Chain A
Amino acid sequence: MNESITAEIRDKARELLDSEQVDCVIGYEASARDGARPAFIYDPVDVDRLVWNEHCVHNLVTYLHDKKKPQRRGEEPQRVAIVVKPCDSRAVNVLLAEQQIARERIYVIGMACEGMKDAKGESQERCIRCADRVPVIYDVLIGNPPTVDPPPEDYADLAEVEALPPNERLAFWLRQFDRCIRCYACRQVCPGCYCTTCMFERDDGLWIDAGIELEQKHMFHLGRALHLAGRCVECNECERVCPMDLPLSLLNRMLTREVEALFGHRAGREEELSPLLFELGEDGSPM
């Protein structure tokens, strides 16, 4: 545990709650199993539960969706402070651009980040690839960002799959999707997946039925990835939470690379909508 940084987070949380600037602080608490886990602090007496360490892998921005509605009818929604890493912070920008959250209701505690490790102490793949050390949006920055040369963009693993002839590439993916159990953990953890009714979970089964079979899983994963094109912030939480170890980052990063090449857009770096999201005017052209 990084004690001085933990102390800074606790002080800030205490200040925000004491002054009633926010109703809730979403951060991390110690976990015997994983090192850290999400925590929701409402009372200043609880702020000492908050910690900061190398296991703070979770992207907490996904929990902001639970705070959009008031707890009770007629009340205001809660004002929330949220601890974010650089990758997580990009999701804040995406949600602001998509008008899912109101800036004035969110206090962003930005963390300088050197990369996170899994419970076994190994650096996460996403962190090895990442050069961001400071969140793109914050109200307070905690920690001293190390200065590092950004690693070159590395798509070697993706290139390997792309080099396969189409039939073999399809076979590769079907083999991966075959393990999927349709638990929706990848969708649930994603800050960008917040549709009230997921198109893959409609009662009428318009796009795919409820079956947990290869055909539905195939469709679900391609659809999920495409819906995040230009919106995925590369936090890679979907891959981390997958109980069947599907290499979902390959799909996400392929689309990230394509969107950047075609539109010069990288999700959440600025507060702007994905170029693939637009409204059509009455004549059918983008407004």
Chain B
Amino acid sequence: MKFVTREQLKTWLDSLVESEYDVVAPRDVDGKVLYRPIGSAEEVLFDYERPDLSAKGCFFPATEVLLRVEQQGSRVTQEEVLPDRQQVIFGLRPCDAHGAAVIDALFLQEDPPDAYYRHHRERTTLVGLACPQMWEGCFCTSVGGAPDDATHLDVLLREVEGGYAVEAVTEKGEAILEGLTLEEREQKPGFSGKTRFLETVPVTEPEKWRPLFEDKIWMRHGERCLSCRICTYVCPTCRCFDVVDRVTGVRGGVTHIERIRVWDACTSPNYRRAAGGHNSRPTKPDRLRNRFYCKFCYYPEDFGPLGCVGCGRCVVSCPVDIDIREVMQDVAAAAE
């Protein structure tokens, strides 16, 4: 295996920061662990659990300017704003890379691909760090992932005695590692033995969801839902958005307008509100049901992958204990 020490990684990260890359890594932000841009390797957390938010904002920003428009009388000019910075996400957990692959199925594999998303993804290199164990709420192994899954990463690091085992997964990964001196070691990377795999969460096939649309499961779990957006915003695969225009100023007779794309959430009451005020998902259970159907029925049927990577963030952050694992168990039982 290829081996590197933490100090060597830090030196390499600092050199990346100095070069043309934006480097994003897990940081302690007032007690929260968040993937954030770094100015120096000193800010990077190496021993962390699961960052509190996924990394999807790095290629699907919560707010993104799509167009800048200037209007003066009847004259309108438009300028497309496409991202051009190269970025490296360091310390990405495998579930978050898996989440990116899930979003790719919609934004990249469908024709036409989403130009903005594609620009971000093409310019992003994913350097993952395997989880030494599974965390509270995690169930990646039930939905096709693993704490050391390299599949959707460009580079996978695994903590080993004295440093990290380095595996370049893609050509992009090999390219980013060029500045790093790797030592060849005999030892094989493996789990330190700390890994515990939590009980398996059952995944019910999409076609078996169809008859359960009116099941009492949705009332039972959905009635206490607050219709907030926590679960969808912490989720590495939720990718719904809204597009709105905003006036950013009027200067010298010219109106400056931005067309922005912002995150949206199907759990939100006005998500399904149509012209005229009709709402086809007027109640909390209607909306919560959609979230689960999207993940395990609609998305796999329409785009391929499951819409869940088992990161467990929605489990630990729901203020009223709506637990996706419990819902999946109830669905499996009802589908029997």
Contacts and interface: CB of A to CB of B under 8 A. Distances in A.
A38 B226 CA distance: 11
B131 interface: no
A185 B262 contact: no
A182 B246 CA distance: 18
B227 interface: yes
Contacts of A175: 30
Contact of A38 (B30, B224, B229): B224
A33 B319 CA distance: 11
A105 interface: no
Given A66-B284, A185-B230, A189-B228, A241 B260 contact: no
B49 interface: no
Contacts of B263: 212
Contacts of B223: 38, 40, 63, 66
B31 interface: yes
A201 to B, nearest CB: 7
B228 A188 contact: yes
B306 interface: no
B76 interface: no
A185 B30 contact: no
A34 B137 CA distance: 12
Contact of A184 (B229, B260, B321): B229
B233 A181 contact: yes
Interface in B226-266: 226-230, 233-234, 242, 244, 246, 260, 262-263, 265
Interface stretch (A92-100, A203-211, A267-275): A203-211
B63 A213 contact: yes
Contact of B246 (A37, A62, A201, A209): A209
The size bracket of the interface on A is 35 or more
Contacts of A31: 321
Contacts of A209: 244, 246, 260
A169 interface: no
Contact of B319 (A189, A197, A201, A213): A189
B242 A210 contact: yes
Contacts of A244: 32, 52
A224 to B, nearest CB: 13
Interface string B294-336: 0000000000000000000001010111010000000000000
A34 B263 CA distance: 28
Interface residues of B, number: 35
Given A40-B223, A181-B233, A183-B229, A33 B262 contact: no
Contact of B320 (A37, A201, A245): A37
Contacts of A197: 270
A122 B104 CA distance: 42
Given A39-B224, A188-B228, A212 B315 contact: no
A212 B223 CA distance: 27
A241 B226 CA distance: 10
Contact of A34 (B230, B244, B284, B321): B321
A121 interface: no
B226 A210 contact: no
Contacts of A241: 226, 228, 230, 319
Interface in B188-244: 223-224, 226-230, 233-234, 242, 244
A39 B320 CA distance: 10
B262 A212 contact: yes
A189 B321 contact: no
Interface string A206-228: 00011111000000000000000
B264 to A, nearest CB: 8
Contact of A211 (B226, B227, B228, B246): B246
B31 A210 contact: no
A255 B246 CA distance: 32
A58 interface: yes
B168 interface: no
A245 B260 contact: no
Contact of B260 (A37, A39, A210): A210
Contacts of B321: 31, 33-34, 37
A240 interface: yes
A189 B62 contact: no
Contacts of B268: 184
A39 to B, nearest CB: 7
5 contacts: A37-B321, A40-B224, A187-B228, A197-B270, A209-B246
Given A37-B224, A183-B229, A189-B228, 8 more contacts: A62-B226, A66-B283, A179-B32, A181-B233, A183-B230, A185-B228, A185-B230, A211-B63
Interface of A: 31, 33-34, 37-40, 58, 62-63, 66, 175-176, 179, 181-185, 187-189, 197, 201, 205, 209-213, 237, 240-241, 243-245
Which 6 A-B residue pairs are closest in the complex by CB-CB distance? A241-B319, A185-B228, A212-B62, A209-B246, A38-B224, A183-B229
